[in-house]
Amino acid sequence: MTQTTTEYKYVELNDRNVPIVAGTTMKVIELVTGQIAYGWSPEELHFQHPYLTMSQIYSALAYYWDHKEKLDADIQQREEYAANLRKQAGESPLAKKLRAQGIIK
């Protein structure tokens, strides 16, 4: 897999031009969505991903803030894709059973 360096010491672009944390397969967007979804601080991100250094985390977050518009659009596209897949899949058999039993609405 080809990596392209960036001006961020710990962020590279993979062969699909996706920013990743250098030396890992962790996409910057995956790290950021954890922060957005759970309100995790950089220290909590490190606790959740102990294989990343604090320098890698801060570099990834800096990359996000400097490319926020583009990465936010990517996050939105991923959310829409997931919602579409859930819609196509329909209700799970377990949910149907629980609904029939009155356990969920």
Q: pLDDT tens digits, residue range 52-92?
A: 999 999 999 999 999 999 999 999 999 999 999 989 999 88
Domain carrying residue 61: 4-100
Residue 82 counted as domain residue: yes
Q: Give the C-alpha separation, 44 to 83, whole Å.
A: 27
Q: Is the separation of the CB atoms in 40 and 34 below 8 Å?
A: yes
Q: What pTM, to 2 d.p., does this model score?
A: 0.77
Residue 21: per-residue pLDDT: 96
Residue 70 phi, psi dihedral angles, 5° rounding:
-65, -45
Mean pLDDT, rounded, for 2-11? 81
Residue 43 counted as domain residue: yes
Residue 86 counted as domain residue: yes
Residue 1: per-residue pLDDT: 63
Quote the tokens at residue 47: 């606790």
Residue 105 counted as domain residue: no
Residue 30 counted as domain residue: yes
Going by DSSP bridges, is the β-strand pair 19-21/11-13 parallel, antiparallel, or unpaired? antiparallel
Number of domains in the chain: 1
